[in-house]
Amino acid sequence: MIALINWLETRTGFKALIHEAFNERVPGGARWRYVWGSTLVFTFTLQVITGFMLWAAYSPSTRTAWESVYYIQHEMFLGNIIRGLHHYAAQGMVVLMAIHLIQVIIDGAYKAPREMNFWLGIVLMMIVLGLSLTGYLLPWDQKGYYATQVTTNIMSATPGVGREVQILAQGGSDYGHLTLTRFFAMHAGILPTLLVGFLALHIYVFRRHGLTVHDPNRAPETTFWPDQVLKDSVACLAVLAVVLLLAIFRGAEMSAPADPSVKFDAARPEWYFLFLFRFLKFHAVDALGVTFGAIIVPGIIMGIIAMMPITAKVFGGFGHQLNRAFIWALSLGVVVLTVMAFYEDANNKDHQAALTEAHRDGQRAIELASGPDKIPVEGAVSLLRKDPFTQGPRLFEQNCSGCHRYNGHDGRGSLVTEAGKTELDPPVTGSPTAADLGSFGSREWMTAIVMDYSNHFAWMKNSKWFLDAQAKSAAGETVDYINPDSSEMADWTSGNLESLKSAENADNVKALVEFLAAEAGHVGTTYDSALVEKGRELAIKGEWAGALNGTSCASCHDTIGQDFPSNPDDSTAGSYPTLAKYGSAAWLKDFIRHPDAARHYGAKNQMVSYSPEKLSEENLDLLVRWLTHDYTTSTVPDYADQMDVLKSALTQGTSAAPEPAPEK
């Protein structure tokens, strides 16, 4: 070892460099407050190492970026840890940089002759923030895509050259592939090179002037080695421990693949930029425009910080105290605005619903990519575009939630709201005007039709058409309309309720429900074949026990038990809605397309007919497959049932619509 060290010394002179580095004087002794610069250098080194590892597997294009990040996160050995370290170390750099800046200003380490070093530090801070912004886009997921799009739009607000800066950053007038490649070039090449160069200058100037000590007489003077090295090493170890624990137990988030066709309401900047996001939401700031809030005000603040060495020189001790007061006030303002942003988001139901959907989509995309079919050639974005589990709720919200609900919500987990009575009144919870489809075609749905028909369809009594029809009927007009309280089915259910609930018919009801549910044949549900056959006999022949004997479904619905034809002929339809494969995908598609056909409700129909112009064949298929559960099985939690919340909101009078009939 000695021979090797001597050989290296004679050829490189490295001992002198080590001696110079480790024997720096530390007046007043080693202190924990001096560790921030070293932790920043350490964190940047960690970023470089993990960055190279990620770079080895990353593919910067709009069709491969998300896919390669998925590979890193879920396929590559320790890839999730490496990406987690890179993700949280980036956030750590911003926090450590802020602490370092505050410490430098408090200790007066910006004053002459250290002005140049202070300004170099400000340049480094801008580069670090640039690295954070550019890295946000690289996974090419929904969160990064929309948040970065906001950033590039803010660039366009730069006075004079805004549009040119935006075009330069995003690689043209459109936001897409060239945006990603340019951000990758800046994140992995240009900005790190600048950071290394300015960091070398920063350290060189720092070593030239040495430490600025707040109280040099607090302890005997020492050297950088070993006391301060020990403290710096412990601090760096603590930083590593924190980011490693976060990487292991929390992991870096990965939302759904970027899809410009899907609105992403959950978009937010990273938490350390939330203060600026909240500042821009103030009415006064918003009225003055983005240029004022996002360009002018931050520019003024950075100008004040850059002028601090001059302020201290001109005004002496008073100037230094002024600088300290400003940085404390700025820090407090940043903290307050950040807390406000978190608090408001946590209490914003729409934002929380958007977050839930974003998390659901992200988990579903990963689930599908991990499935047997993997990621298709056309890219990961097609995974969700062709997935009924993802697109069904959106299509339901767009096309069905005006009347129907799905387990009490709009299909996407939120209650439907409507405008108050006046423009000044807040929105109120909207009441459904058609049946809730959360259990459509299931045993629960069929049981409700057989045992509690009136209450099952009671929501339609809130509709305007029903109230108008009732009013006309009460006035003596003859009105032919659907009435859940006075129809043949309602009369049969209510008139035979006691017999239906009797012990002697319990097995018969169970069998009939099993048969009807099997007719719907929802994917993923298994049916008892013996019960199905028994239910078929009951539905056609009506061999019930007691007073119900002889009453059958086939006496009204002459299509019971038949296959739903591909081209149904209305001329053969009876006077009652067809029950041929009632609730199945074929029946449901035909009903959505032709609800006013004689085979369904005919002249009594109040539902809008959805032509291919209103709802394409592809979207109709996705919607129906979702309603009939015909999609790849998912372990992703679905939207929570909101029926109790809806009923509670309506009961408390937050909706002007009539309440549904009480449950029997």
pLDDT tens for each residue of 162-193 = 889 999 988 888 888 999 999 999 999 999 99
DSSP 75: T
Alpha-carbon torsion (254, 257, 258, 259), positive or negative:
negative
pTM above 0.75, yes or no: yes
DSSP 188: I
Alpha-carbon torsion (8, 10, 12, 16), positive or negative:
positive
By the 8 A CB rule, do 185 and 175 touch?
A: no
Tell whether the model's pLDDT for residue 662 goes beyond 50.
no
CA atoms within 13 Å, Cβ hemisphere of 396: 28
DSSP 605: -
Torsion from C-alpha of 126, 131, 134, 140, nearest 10 degrees: -160
Whole-angstrom distance, CA of residue 277 vs CA of residue 274: 5
Instruction: State both tokens at 134.
Output: 């550019």
Q: What's the rounded mean pLDDT across residues 471-496?
A: 87
- CATH code assigned at 223: 1.20.810.10
Evaluate whether residue 624 is within a structural domain.
no
What Rg value do the Cα atoms of the chain yield, rounded? 34
Looking at residue 213, its pLDDT comes to 66
Length of the chain: 664
- Give pairs for 374-381: CB < 8 Å, separation 24+: 375/67, 375/70, 378/63, 379/62, 379/63, 379/64, 379/66, 379/67, 379/257, 380/66, 380/67, 380/70, 380/257, 381/66, 381/257, 381/258, 381/259
Evaluate whether residue 592 is within a structural domain.
yes
Q: How far is CA 417 from the centre of its chain?
A: 21
Whole-angstrom distance, CA of residue 451 vs CA of residue 97: 67
Q: pLDDT of 273-283, one tens digit each?
A: 999 999 999 99
Q: What's the rounded mean pLDDT across residues 26-39?
A: 84
Tell whether the model's pLDDT for residue 33 goes beyond 80.
yes
Q: pLDDT of 207-223, one tens digit each?
A: 787 666 667 767 777 77
Looking at residue 656, its pLDDT comes to 41
Q: What's the rounded mean pLDDT across residues 224-237?
A: 90
Evaluate whether residue 653 is within a structural domain.
no
295 three-class SS: helix
pLDDT higher at 59 or 557: 59
Looking at residue 664, its pLDDT comes to 33
Q: What's the rounded mean pLDDT across residues 402-423?
A: 90
Evaluate whether residue 638 is within a structural domain.
no
**For all residues of the chain together, what is the average pLDDT?**
90
By the 8 A CB rule, do 146 and 264 touch?
A: yes
CA atoms within 13 Å, Cβ hemisphere of 578: 29
417 three-class SS: strand
DSSP 460: G
The per-type count for the chain, helices as H runs and strands as E runs, is: 29, 4
| Burial status of residue 190 (CB atoms within 10 A of its CB: 0-12, 13-18, 19 or more) | middle
What are the residues whose beta carbons fall under 8 Å from the beta carbon of 8, sequence distance 6 or more? 14
By the 8 A CB rule, do 516 and 510 touch?
A: no
Q: Domain tally for the chain?
A: 2
By the 8 A CB rule, do 371 and 389 touch?
A: no
Torsion from C-alpha of 214, 217, 221, 222, nearest 10 degrees: -50
Looking at residue 661, its pLDDT comes to 40
By the 8 A CB rule, do 26 and 221 touch?
A: yes
What are the residues whose beta carbons fall under 8 Å from the beta carbon of 232, sequence distance 6 or more? 34, 35, 38, 39
Whole-angstrom distance, CA of residue 509 vs CA of residue 214: 86
Q: pLDDT of 123-149, one tens digit each?
A: 999 999 999 999 999 999 999 999 898
Cα separation of the two ends of the chain: 90
Domain-terminating residue out of 240, 261, 282 = 261
Instruction: State both tokens at 426.
Output: 């807040």
Evaluate whether residue 635 is within a structural domain.
no
Give the confidence band of 550 by pLDDT, cuts at 50, 70, 90. confident
Q: Closest Cα to residue 192, out of 276, 115, 128, 270? A: 128
Evaluate whether residue 139 is within a structural domain.
yes
Helices (H), 250-307: 274-279, 283-288, 290, 297-306
Give the confidence band of 573 by pLDDT, cuts at 50, 70, 90. low
Domain membership of residue 584 as a residue range: 443-605
pLDDT higher at 510 or 152: 510
By the 8 A CB rule, do 410 and 396 touch?
A: yes
Whole-angstrom distance, CA of residue 154 vs CA of residue 150: 6
Tell whether the model's pLDDT for residue 660 goes beyond 60.
no
Evaluate whether residue 502 is within a structural domain.
yes
Q: pLDDT of 602-621, one tens digit each?
A: 888 899 999 999 999 999 99
DSSP 8-54: HHHHH-HHHHHHHHHT-EETT---GGG-HHHHHHHHHHHHHHHHHHH
Evaluate whether residue 14 is within a structural domain.
no
Looking at residue 445, its pLDDT comes to 96
Instruction: Give φ, ψ of 418 to 5 degrees.
Output: -140, 160
Whole-angstrom distance, CA of residue 362 vs CA of residue 634: 13
Q: What's the rounded mean pLDDT across residues 530-538?
A: 94
Q: Find tokens 């929309």 and name the residue.
A: 146
Domain-terminating residue out of 589, 605, 621 = 605
Tell whether the model's pLDDT for residue 77 goes beyond 50.
yes
Domain-terminating residue out of 605, 620, 655 = 605
Instruction: State both tokens at 229.
Output: 């090295």
Looking at residue 19, its pLDDT comes to 73
Helices (H), 370-487: 381-385, 388-399, 443-451, 453-456, 464-474
Q: What's the rounded mean pLDDT across residues 34-44?
A: 93
Give the confidence band of 658 by pLDDT, cuts at 50, 70, 90. very low
Q: What's the rounded mean pLDDT across residues 54-81?
A: 95
113 preceded by cis ω (within 30°)? yes
Q: Closest Cα to residue 350, out of 397, 383, 406, 389? A: 397
Looking at residue 574, its pLDDT comes to 64
Tell whether the model's pLDDT for residue 653 goes beyond 80.
no
Helix (H) or strand (E) holding 222: strand 222-223
Instruction: State both tokens at 446.
Output: 């069929």
Give the confidence band of 663 by pLDDT, cuts at 50, 70, 90. very low
